[in-house]
Amino acid sequence: MAHVNENYLKLPGSYLFSEIARRVNQFKINNQDADIIRLGIGDVTRPLPAAVIEAMKKGVEEMARQETFRGYGPEQGYEFLIRLIIDNDFSSRKVELSVEEVFVSDGAKTDTANFQEIFGMDNILAVTDPVYPVYVDSNVMAGRTGKVNEKGQFNGIVYLPCTEESGMKPALPEKRVDMIYLCFPNNPTGVTLSREELKKWVDYARENRSIILFDAAYEAYIREESVPHSIYEIEGAREVAVEFRSFSKTAGFTGTRCAYTVVPKEVTAYDSGGAAHSLNSLWLRRQTTKFNGVSYPVQVGAAAVYTGEGKKQVREMIDYYMENARIIREGLQKAGYKVFGGVNAPYVWLKTPNGMGSWEFFDRLMKDAHVVGTPGAGFGAGGEGFLRLTAFGTRENTERALERIKTRM
Ligand code: PLP
């Protein structure tokens, strides 16, 4: 008799987006003429930059000719892309990395979910609350947690509350933790940490020999000088941090798939005898066993993000979304809402008025303004009483949505 991995049975069903779809469909049945604007989804809507498309076409053409055809590539990614990543995303910020420290992959979701595999099962992990659910669910699947409670929180995970009072920023854990997931700019709250704030986490990790799993998928949206783009801008981070980056939100690759993870050679974790092991070697071992690389045309397309034309087109795309973020943020503020994010991130996190629950406010927003957001409670207990709006819609829809919120809510 085959047995299932019972850790999977600990997971409640993926309720958030199916429940949103159910409520929207029900509303549409009852209100067939309603022109619904969706500002809930965390997916980009602008097409890929022309420079990327041109490069990908050339990459495909190369695959069509005997002389230039390529089969399996290096599991860690082609060196031409890795060198561009290092020069443009890190050296320009005085962060030095070697080619062996960057692992190209098909997504930050995959990497943030898989990275936990190389840690021991007895590690205590900490996540912010609210949180991008992948960090939690992947650790539950692996068996690193106990059961879920009525608040949707798992035994064995240290939840770091991000509250209105703390500006939606987490405080250091009160008890020792081994693995710390941090995501800045944050999904869902849109807030960032300053250098000084991030340094506290790096110092904590160095003192406690913990590892920070730093998700910087939204790094490209940072506007303010004081906000670090990479955790390696903080002294000592090379010893204790792994960083996840993605072309998804940076360059519109959500449907094309390319990302990368940085694992400096100094980052170490320990075996039960106390001997130190390089996470870089373990991740290389893991990737070369379980992953066969990102397709050549896609890596050629990602490399085009770093050409003059590519950079200009990416900047225009990000400017477009960030103008939407400004419209949402300022529009909500003018309408009297308390908001977070939207300055260095494509997400605006609004506090529901009069202590209304997330889902209740979601329903009201849909009913009165015909606008769909994402209830904060879907990102954890700490998200209750908040709602997320995204800047990834069209300009026209964003403006119309805010006008409706102002006049109808
Ligand atoms: N990390 C965060 C915080 C995200 O919000 C997302 C996507 O929404 C991802 C990672 C996934 O990125 P990718 O498309 O590279 O898998």
Averaged pLDDT of the chain = 97
- Is 183 near ligand 1, meaning CB less than 6 Å away? yes
Q: How far apart are CA 81 and CA 232, in angstroms?
A: 20
Nearest CA to ligand 1 atom 8: 42
Q: How far apart are CA 93 and CA 225, in angstroms?
A: 12
Q: Which pTM was predicted?
A: 0.97
- Is 215 near ligand 1, meaning CB less than 6 Å away? yes
DSSP string, 266-316: T-EEE-TTS-EEEHHHHHHHHHHHH-----HHHHHHHHHTTSHHHHHHHHH
Question: Is residue 246 within 8 Å of 89, Cβ to Cβ?
Answer: no
pLDDT band at 12 (very low <50, low <70, confident <90, very high): confident
Predicted pLDDT at 378:
94
Length of the chain: 409
Predicted pLDDT at 47:
97
**Ligand 1 atom showing the smallest separation from residue 108 Cα:** 15
Question: Is residue 247 within 8 Å of 305, Cβ to Cβ?
Answer: yes
Query: What number is the average pLDDT over the span 183-208?
Result: 98
Q: CATH number of the domain at 7-47+311-408, please?
A: 3.90.1150.10
Q: Domain 54-304 - what CATH class?
A: alpha beta
Q: How far is the CA of 30 from the centre of ligand 1 (A)?
A: 34
pLDDT digits (tens, 9 = 90+) for 80-120: 999 999 999 999 999 999 999 999 999 999 999 999 999 99
Domain ranges for the chain, please list them.
7-47+311-408, 54-304
- Is 52 near ligand 1, meaning CB less than 6 Å away? no
Q: How far is the CA of 334 from the centre of ligand 1 (A)?
A: 30
pLDDT digits (tens, 9 = 90+) for 299-342: 999 999 999 999 999 999 999 999 999 999 999 999 999 999 99
Closest to 287 in 3D by CA, of 116, 106, 76: 76
Query: What number is the average pLDDT over the span 366-384?
Result: 96
Predicted pLDDT at 357:
97
Q: How far apart are CA 371 and CA 401, in angstroms?
A: 6
In this structure, the dihedral spanned by the alpha carbons of residues 225, 230, 236 and 238, taken in order and rounded to 10 degrees, is -160
Nearest CA to ligand 1 atom 11: 109
CB count within 10 Å of CB 385 equals 19
**Ligand 1 atom showing the smallest separation from residue 259 Cα:** 15
Q: How far is the CA of 252 from the centre of ligand 1 (A)?
A: 12
